[in-house]
Amino acid sequence: MLFDGLMLTVGGRFRRPEPRRRVRDFVRGLLAPLPRKNCWTIAEHAGDSGPDGMQDLLTRVRWDDAAVRADVRAFVGEHLGDPEAVLVIDETGNLKKGRHTVGVQRQYSGTAGKIENCQLAVHLVYATDTAHAMVDTALYLPKSWCDDPERRTRAGVPEQVRFATKPQLAARMITAAVTAGLPCRWVAGDEAYGNDPRLAARLRQLRLGYVLAVARSHQVTTGLGVYRVDALATGLPTIAWQRISAGRGAKGHRWYDWSYTALPHATDAHGGHHWLLIRRNRRTGELAFYRCWSPQPVPLNRLVAVAGRRWKIEEAFQAAKTGLGLDQHQHRRWRSWHRWTTLVILAHAFLAAATANHHHQPVGLIPLTVNELRHLFHVLIIEPTRRRADPLLWSIRRRRHQAQAMTSHYARQALTEP
C-alpha cells in the first residue's frame, strides 16, 4: 500500500519503534476530518491516553525533519516525476497574536492581503500537468529576530541560522531539489521572486528555465534601449497578442491575451534565451509581466503553461490549510514548527501521489480529487482500524488543563495590575 510504503521509509529516520508508530498515528490524524488539528485532538484520535506522546514527537524525540522532507521529495519524484515539471515557489502567512511565536512580527501577508502580525514561510511545490505536491519549506526569520539573541534562545532558533531573504530561502530549496535529482525543468514564482536578480542568476546557473512575475515598474533592455515593462506594453500592436489558455481552473479554462518579446542578453555568462512575457485580462485589461529564460528556444504557449502552473501552489495551500491543518499548529519554537509543517507536507505528498496513481476513470465522473481521496482514506482505511480513546477521561483531562491555564492567567494578571 502506498501509505504503508511511505511510512516505512520515513520510519527509518527514527531509532525506536514507539516514535515510528506515533508518527504514523500523527499523519493519520492530520488526514482525519478533525474539526481542529493539534497534539490534543490528534492524540485523542489515535487512542492515546494523553497528548504527551504527540507533543514529545514535535519537541523532545530525536529526529531530523530535513531528512524526512528529503524522503518526501524522493517519494514525489518516484511517483510524480516528470522531466518537464515546474518547481513553484511562494510564501504563505499564519496570523498570530503576541510576539513570542518564532518568526512573528508585523509584516505583509498575502493571505490577509495587508500588514498583519503574522508568521511567514516559503514553500516549494512540485507541479506537473496532472498533479502537484508540496516538497519543502523554510520559515522566514525576520532580521529583527535574527538580531535579537534573547528571542532566538527562547524560540530555540539554531545558532547557525542567519537572516535570509525569501528569494534566498527559495534558491536553497530549489538547489537542494535539483542536487537530489528531482526531475524538473522550470521554476515559477510571483513578484517577490521575479524582482530578485540573484535568484534568476542562480536558476540560470542550475540550467532551470523560469517564468517569474515582475513589477510593472521593472526595467528591461531591448535593442532600442532600457524601458519600463508597462511602457513596452502600451506600444504593442493588436497583432502582437494571442489568446491562450493558462490551464484549467475550477470554472473552466483560464483564457488571457498574451504577448512575448525576445530580449538581448549578450553579456549573460549562462547563455540561453530571455523573454518578456505579458498577460492581459480579456475582461478588465489588467496587465501582468514576467521575466522568462530557457536554455533552449521555446514557443509562447510553453511559457504560458509554466506561468499558469504557478496557481498550483495556491491549491496546495488551500488543501493543506483546510484539510491538513497547516496553519493550525500551536507551537512557538523553531523545531516544533518545522516538524509540524514537515508532517503536513508528508500527508499532502501522499494524497497527491495516491490521486495521481488512480488511473481508472469511470465515464461521467470528474477525476478523483485530493479532498475526496482524503475522505475515502479516512472512511475506508483509518476509521475501521483506529483505537478508541476513553471520551470521559479526555474530557476530564481537557477541563483540568483549562482550569490550570485559567489559574495561571489570573495569577499573572494579578501581578501586573496596580
Of 107, 89, 299, the residue nearest 200 (C-alpha): 89
pLDDT for res 359: 64
Is 135 in contact with 170 (CB distance < 8 Å)? no
Pair (259, 300) in one structural domain: yes
Pair (270, 355) in one structural domain: yes
Pair (111, 166) in one structural domain: yes
What is the total count of domains within the chain?
Answer: 2
User: How far lies 286's CA from each of 30, 250, 283, in Å?
Assistant: 40, 21, 8
CA 280 – CA 257 distance, rounded (Å): 5
pLDDT for res 267: 64
Pair (80, 146) in one structural domain: yes
Pair (400, 276) in one structural domain: no
pLDDT for res 418: 61
CATH code: domain of residue 167:
3.90.350.10
pLDDT for res 147: 93
Domain range spanning residue 396?
388-415
Whose grid coordinates read 493550525?
328
Pair (229, 83) in one structural domain: yes
Q: What is the pLDDT of residues 233-268, one digit of tens each?
A: 988 899 999 999 998 877 788 999 999 999 987 567
Pair (289, 399) in one structural domain: no
User: How far lies 12's CA from each of 5, 75, 133, in Å?
Assistant: 11, 14, 22
Give me the residues paired with residue 188 across strands: 88, 211
CA 129 – CA 271 distance, rounded (Å): 28
Pair (151, 269) in one structural domain: yes
Is 47 in contact with 115 (CB distance < 8 Å)? no
**Which parts of the chain sit beneath pLDDT 70?**
266-267, 359-361, 417-418
Pair (302, 404) in one structural domain: no
pTM of the predicted model as reported, rounded to 2 decimal places: 0.91
Q: Are β-strands 114-127 and 242-249 bridged in parallel, bridged antiparallel, or unpaired?
A: unpaired
pLDDT for res 348: 97
Pair (373, 392) in one structural domain: no
Q: Write a three-state SS string for the chain.
A: CHHHHHHHHHHCCCCCHHHHHHHHHHHHHHHCCCCCCCHHHHHHHHCCCCCHHHHHHHHCCCCCHHHHHHHHHHHHHHHHCCCCCEEEEEEEEEECCCCCCCCCEEEEECCCCEEEEEEEEEEEEEECCCCEEEEEEEECCCHHHHCCHHHHHHHCCCCCCCCCCHHHHHHHHHHHHHHCCCCCCEEEECHHHHCCHHHHHHHHHCCCEEEEEECCCCEEEECCEEEEHHHHHHCCCHHHCEEEEEEEECCEEEEEEEEEEEECCCCCCCCCEEEEEEEECCCCCCEEEEEEEECCCCCHHHHHHHHHHCCHHHHHHHHHHHHHCCCCCCCCCHHHHHHHHHHHHHHHHHHHHHHHCCCCCCCCCCCCCHHHHHHHHHHHHHHHHCCCCCHHHHHHHHHHHHHHHHHHHHHHHHHHCC
Pair (209, 71) in one structural domain: yes
pLDDT for res 98: 81
Pair (304, 398) in one structural domain: no
